[in-house]
Amino acid sequence: MITEPFVSTSVTPIDSLNTLSPYEVRQLQDASQGGLYRLFRQCALAVLNSGSELDSTKQVLEKFREFDIRISHKHRSVQLELINAPATAFVNGEIIAGIREHLFSVLRDLLYVGIELDQYCPGITESETTTNMVFHVLRHAGAIRPHVKPDMVVCWGGHSIDRHEYEYTKKVGYEMGLRGLNICTGCGPGAMKGPMKGATISHAKQRISEGQYVGITEPGIIAAESPNPIVNRLIIMPDIEKRLEAFVRLGHGIVIFPGGAGTAEELLYILGILLHERNHNLPFPLVLTGPAGSEEYFAQIDGFIRETLGEHAASRYQVIIDDEHAVAEAMADGLEQVTRYRVATSESFHFNWQLHIPESFQQPFEPTHENMASLALIKDQSEYELASNLRCALSGIVAGNVKEMGIREIEEKGPFEIQGEENIMAPLDKLLASFVEQRRMKINYQEYQPCYKLTQGMLVE
């Protein structure tokens, strides 16, 4: 039987978002610069396109350029009219339940951030305002679980990993699930899906009926990393910086699998925060792991960290190769330390308020050619500031690889030019070259052309 590539139908929510105000509907219908329509359409398409092997937002939007979504009130409820939606989101003409749930999660978060939280918070700093926003979005999405012992493990890693590495992420997820731990990832394929898939099996064995598989994404990346079907709590943060903060505020520990520029960006983010003097005594288990054969990959990562950020940064994580049991035990032990610390300091279990995140890690970084060229990649600054600037460099490369605006920027002006001191640029060049050689930059690696050029031996003023 031949399946039509597109489906047009109407969808209503199951048990939430049954009512919207006329103002909210107008915002979703407004295609102008100030409206939410463009973001809503892009995020909705990403959800409906779950399972796609395209990892370029631009390619996804071009493939489904005839797709449209309209919102209205019908029979006192909200109704979404889908026009030319991907047929893979439907079975026998009915939308798959998990995709339907994710579709309305998009609606919930875009409206909440765009309307409810678009207001000034008096009496607190800009940094505190950002953290407050992250907390409110997570709480509104139902991700905040008071009085529950720390059990949320964030898993980071590449979306374009090979089968051997993917199977290992499932094994680690399985072992963590056996110990009652829950999983939070970036919601996409590869190392974001594997740990969740492993944990579902062990949760079933342990008769854990309410396992948490939290996926946190943002509008710029969601089309390139469509939510995998295991995610049962999808959360859309406004930008990459708030997405990263949501991970480290909600999670109690982090496991990092092999990946490319995005994974390196995430590692630099958490290391930069932990390197700040206010976080030196804060327990936060951080494990880097991969299967047999990944020794060289982690040696490169570890060498890059030691050469750029120093030995103190390397002391904040441990590397475990091809031992899923040891990873799960290390994380379980680490979470026990987190629990004891939070009890002793009267800190909440559900949100890491004590973690100090410098404002430079919270400010959205726009990856333009000018901003990329002006990054301070020099040794004459604090370790956490250098980590922040390196994180921005990697974030720009991710944008140039997969995000619509970044891809268009490269098409119009050529590769980003990144400059800095040789003792930073040489290790960075070596790391990025290894990602390209190992085909970790994109799923469609045959088509990959570097979106960056590095200049060594230049000082940034």
151, amino acid identity: D
pLDDT digits (tens, 9 = 90+) for 243-272: 999 999 999 999 999 999 999 999 999 999
Q: Is residue 377 part of a domain?
A: yes
In this structure, the answer to whether residues 227 and 281 fall within a common structural domain is yes
Q: Is residue 166 part of a domain?
A: yes
Looking at 116, 131, 165, which one is the last position of a domain?
A: 116
For residue 379, what is the domain's CATH number? 3.40.50.450
CA-closest candidate to residue 20, choices 114, 97, 131:
114
Confidence tier at 77 by pLDDT (50, 70, 90): low
> Residue 116 gets which letter from DSSP?
I
Distance CA 53, CA 392 (A): 26
Q: Given a cut of 60, is residue 119 above it in pLDDT?
A: no
Number of domains in the chain: 2
Question: What is the per-residue pLDDT for 460?
Answer: 41
Three-state secondary-structure class, residue 182: strand
Q: Which residues, including other chains, have CB under 8 Å from residue 393's CB and lie 6 or more apart?
A: 372, 375, 377, 418, 428
290 or 46, higher pLDDT: 290
In this structure, the answer to whether residues 233 and 317 fall within a common structural domain is yes
Question: What is the per-residue pLDDT for 2?
Answer: 39
Question: What is the per-residue pLDDT for 11?
Answer: 86
Q: Is residue 123 part of a domain?
A: no
Q: Is residue 149 part of a domain?
A: no
For residue 72, what is the domain's CATH number? 3.30.1850.10
Q: Given a cut of 50, is residue 459 above it in pLDDT?
A: no
Looking at 83, 116, 149, which one is the last position of a domain?
A: 116
In this structure, the answer to whether residues 357 and 218 fall within a common structural domain is yes
Distance CA 435, CA 415 (A): 17
Q: Is residue 329 part of a domain?
A: yes
**Positive or negative: CA dihedral 285, 290, 291, 296:** negative
Other beta carbons within 10 angstroms of residue 455's beta carbon come to: 14
In this structure, the answer to whether residues 104 and 169 fall within a common structural domain is no
Q: Is residue 1 part of a domain?
A: no
Looking at 63, 90, 116, which one is the last position of a domain?
A: 116
Whether this model's pTM surpasses 0.85: yes
**Positive or negative: CA dihedral 381, 383, 386, 392:** negative
In this structure, the answer to whether residues 97 and 162 fall within a common structural domain is no
Distance CA 272, CA 135 (A): 21
In this structure, the answer to whether residues 112 and 173 fall within a common structural domain is no
pLDDT digits (tens, 9 = 90+) for 174-217: 999 999 999 999 998 999 999 999 999 999 999 999 999 999 99
Domain carrying residue 242: 157-461
Q: Is residue 341 part of a domain?
A: yes
Q: Is residue 322 part of a domain?
A: yes
